[in-house]
Amino acid sequence: MAKVVAVTGNEACANALRQVNPDVCGVYPITPQTDMMQKYASFVSNGKVDTEIILVESEHSSMSACIGAAAAGGRVVTATSSQGLALMWEMLHIASGDRLPIIMPVVNRALSAPLNIHGDHSDAMGARDTGWIQLWSENAQDAYDNTIQAFRIGEHMDIRLPVMVCLDGFIISHSIERMEYLEDEEVKGFVGEYKNFLPLLDLDKPKSYGPLILPDLFHEYKKAQHETMLKVKDVVLKVAADFEKLSGRKYGLFESYRLDDADIALVILNSAAGTSKDIVDGFRARGIKAGLLKPRLFRPFPYEEVAEALGNTKAVCVMDRSDSFGGYGPVFMEISSALYPLKERPVLINRIYGLGGRDYLPEHGEAVLNELDEIAKGGKVEKYKEYIGVRE
Amino acid sequence: MATGLTLKELSKKEELLTHGHRMCAGCGAPIAVKMVLLATDYPVIASNATGCLEVSSCISEYTAWKIPWIHTAFENAAATISGVETMFRSLKKQGKIGGEVKFMAFGGDGGTYDIGLQSLSGAMERGHDMLYVCYDNGAYMNTGIQRSSATPMGADTTTCPAGSVIPGKPQKRKNLTKIMAAHNIPFSAQASPSHWTDLMKKVKKAHEIKGPKFLNIIAPCNRGWRSKTNDAIMLSRLAVNTCYWPLYEIEDGVTKITYTPKEKKPLVDFMKPQGRFKHLFAPENEELMKILQGQVDSDWEKLKREAEHG
């Protein structure tokens, strides 16, 4: 039986982790993730979980300890944001290269300098190429549901890869929303017992983790990692189907919103997708065929499926809440790669919004959709990439 | 069953770091590691910082380690093994695993004194049940003899080369054994492969103490020290007998010198066979040589005073 609650995104994720009851959790504070791990620490102190927490002295050590713990053989979690994720960067590659299914909520926040503690996607986009699976979440419910599903995906015996669950800093991590919790037993049953694979603690069969691999074999190891990533999509869909049976909530590789007959569309991640759906509804009410695509699985990226979903539109704006300075936004690059193989493609533009917690307002999305409407009618593209919501 | 510290008994034990690894001939590090493992009478899991020992002992499909072993990166051998140890405690608490396991980390001085110091400090402070072993060869030898904070003052390295203006490393080395003791851990000690019974006794003692332990072992490197391939033991003995590398332990805050040389030799006896100090024997560096001897003398006197006061 679902339990309806009013909680923050951080609390929702902390409760998902409590219900899973992992063996080890690495804990280090960083805004806006801090109170997720604080809540988890209180579960430990009050005997609500069996977890041993490691109160490390940095995020680098947190991920290092998580790697050691996961290699030892057991379920391992941590959480971070921003500079913390950046400090972990070296170890993120090692977690995935060693094929260790560590689960990590990432509460998205801007990267310094200048210092800013508010939400944007620079941190997780910077970790795009680290070999982690990435699931993105619009709201607290998504973040909770994704966290639970992440265990089944990462720990799948064909996959064995770490998973980041991304949610927007403050907007989702600190805002109270209505959502539904599953029962503890339901979550426990859904994720199942942790299955070990080559644990260090199997003393009878000693293993060596982290060898030196020179040019004779390194290339093959990396190819194998890519091929494993290609299997993730199917697992994500199977896990989502099981999750729907349990919760009634449907998840896919991405969400298509009023996209079937759309002429113009926004592609937008996380919390701003909620605002944008309202804007899309407004345009539909005016008879303009607008739609929206909200990516969920960003790594691996579902190119073919996205191309199919956007292929019949006339103009698309990819909204990025992070930037690759001097290049296009990271989501734009994926969408353009997805659409390129099509014979007939929509016009594609890129708008950068909401950096460092700058509000994304309905008028911003409306202006973009108006521009797309003009382009769809044969209008000229003034600028392919532009910042929006900029103070004059 | 505990092995006695006799050559006869030790020779019957299986070597847990096998032959066939690719460390240089005459390297002190694998000698130190073999001694540490020979003195270990428990199942053991080790982590290893990136460095000579790591890159030479587990390559592609081959490993020289007969124990469960993990290398992740350079600066985090302590954090990595702290994770392994925590998982063991978690599974044991939950009744999913039993028995007793010892957790160890091996790192060179670069991975321990420098880049790994934060991770080591954190793991010691958190109180993990582990023994961190540093093999100190006094420079980044794996990357080609660059200066570390363990490099002795005056030594010639590739990043503090002895030149016409600067005579090698200008700074005194860091005293990591005491820094570790200052974490209020139950056991911090220095050892040398030349004094193997002393080294192995310290390992055995460390394994019987619950909590974080630190053991610093001098490990001559003939490539970096510019010495002969057959003099690792001779040089580590001279390091001890000149009191450049005193053998002592700090147990629960109490300092004990575990070996006092019968005759304290002059520091030049340790320096002379090593090409890294060659330039210091030039007449213009006479004053610097006196300073170096003075440092060893005052450090030794200070250590003796600390040992006297317990």
**Residue numbers of B between 48 and 87 with CB closer than 8 Å to A:** 54-55, 58-60, 63, 65-73, 75-76, 79-87
> B75 contacts in A (CB within 8 Å)?
60
Burial label for B89, CB within 10 Å (0-12, 13-18, 19+), is: middle
pLDDT for the residue A223: 98
Q: What is the pLDDT averaged over residues A304-322?
A: 98
The model's pLDDT over B4-43, given as tens digits with 9 standing for 90+, comes to 889 999 999 999 999 999 999 999 999 999 999 999 999 9
Cβ(B212)–Cβ(B129) below 8 Å: yes
Which chain A residues touch B if contact means CB-CB below 8 Å? 23-24, 26, 50-52, 54-58, 60-62, 64-74, 76, 90-91, 94, 98, 200-203, 206-214, 216-217
Say which of A57, A72, A214 has its CB closest to residue B122.
A57
The interface predicted TM-score (ipTM) is 0.97
Read off the tokens for B305: 């005073």
Cβ(B75)–Cβ(B108) below 8 Å: no
pLDDT for the residue A83: 98
Kindly indicate the confidence band of residue A1, based on its pLDDT and cuts at 50, 70 and 90: low
- For residue B178, give every residue at least 6 positions away whose Cβ sits within 8 Å of its Cβ, in sequence order, or none: B188, B250
Distance of CA A350 to the CA centre of its chain: 20
| Residue from A270, A372, A362 nearest A316 by CA | A372
pLDDT for the residue A318: 98
Q: Which of A20, A21, A23 to mutate to test the interface with B (most CBs of B within 10 A)?
A: A23
Residue of B nearest to A24 (CA): B87
Place of tokens 């005194």: B172
Inter-chain residue contact B73 with A91, CB threshold 8 Å: yes
Say which of B43, B60, B90 has its CB closest to residue A51.
B90
> A68 contacts in B (CB within 8 Å)?
47, 70, 72, 79-87
Task: Give Dmax (Cα) for chain A.
Answer: 70
Q: How far apart are CA A347 and CA A79, in angstroms?
A: 38
Inter-chain residue contact B45 with A72, CB threshold 8 Å: yes
**Residue numbers of B between 119 and 158 with CB closer than 8 Å to A:** 119, 121-123, 125-126
| Residue from B202, B189, B190 nearest B5 by CA | B202
pLDDT for the residue B3: 73
Say which of B47, B65, B118 has its CB closest to residue A57.
B118
Inter-chain residue contact B45 with A201, CB threshold 8 Å: yes
pLDDT for the residue B60: 87
Low-confidence ranges of chain B (pLDDT < 50): none
- The answer to whether residue B259 neighbours chain A at the CB level (below 8 Å) is no
pTM of the model: 0.98
DSSP classification of residue A248: S
Say which of B59, B60, B68 has its CB closest to residue A206.
B68
Say which of A61, A72, A98 has its CB closest to residue B122.
A61
Size of chain A in residues: 392
What element of type H or E holds B232?
Answer: helix B232-241
Q: Which of B45, B87, B117 to mutate to test the interface with A (most CBs of A within 10 A)?
A: B87
Supply the mean pLDDT for chain A.
98
Kindly indicate the confidence band of residue A392, based on its pLDDT and cuts at 50, 70 and 90: confident
| Residue from A284, A298, A290, A268 nearest A360 by CA | A268
Q: What is the pLDDT averaged over residues A129-145?
A: 98
Read off the tokens for B273: 């066979």
Kindly indicate the confidence band of residue A5, based on its pLDDT and cuts at 50, 70 and 90: very high
Is the per-residue pLDDT at A68 higher than 60?
Answer: yes
pLDDT for the residue A207: 97
The model's pLDDT over A236-280, given as tens digits with 9 standing for 90+, comes to 999 999 999 999 999 999 999 999 999 999 999 999 999 999 999
CB pairs under 8 A between A and B: 159
Cβ(B247)–Cβ(B303) below 8 Å: no
